[in-house]
């Protein structure tokens, strides 16, 4: 198990251990600052007008599983084009 430095201790997240673990808790470091979005995930944000927002507008007339399949196809096609 890798440890964390004292400088990272303020940013650490403590989780209760899973039932089968011998440890009392899990200590993890935060990957990204709270509220920030990693650059590689910005294209998937609805509020930034990314691909999902565009595909949601295109599939508004569908419902249920039909819309899910249409959304998946739309997102796949849009990301393939980039």
Q: Residue 59 — φ and ψ, nearest 5°?
A: -110, 20
Residues in the chain: 82
Residue at token pair 């990314």: 50
**DSSP, res 12:** E
Quick one: pLDDT at residue 31? 77
pTM of the complete model beyond 0.85:
no
For 30, list phi and psi in degrees, rounded to 5: -75, 130
The residue ranges of every structural domain in the chain are 1-31, 39-81
Question: pLDDT of the chain along its 82 residues, tens only?
Answer: 467 777 777 777 788 888 888 888 887 777 777 788 888 887 777 666 678 888 888 999 999 999 999 999 998 898 887 6
Q: How much is the pLDDT for 66? A: 94
Euclidean distance between CA atoms 74 and 54, whole angstroms: 9
């Amino acid at each position: 198990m890798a440890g964390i430095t004292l400088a990272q201790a303020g940013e650490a997240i403590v989780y209760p251990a899973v039932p089968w673990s011998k440890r009392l808790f899990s200590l993890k470091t935060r990957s990204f600052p709270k509220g920030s979005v990693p650059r590689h995930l910005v294209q998937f944000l609805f509020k930034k007008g990314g691909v999902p927002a565009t595909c949601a507008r295109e599939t508004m007339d569908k419902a249920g599983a039909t819309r899910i399949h249409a959304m998946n196809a739309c997102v796949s096609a849009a990301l393939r084009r980039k």
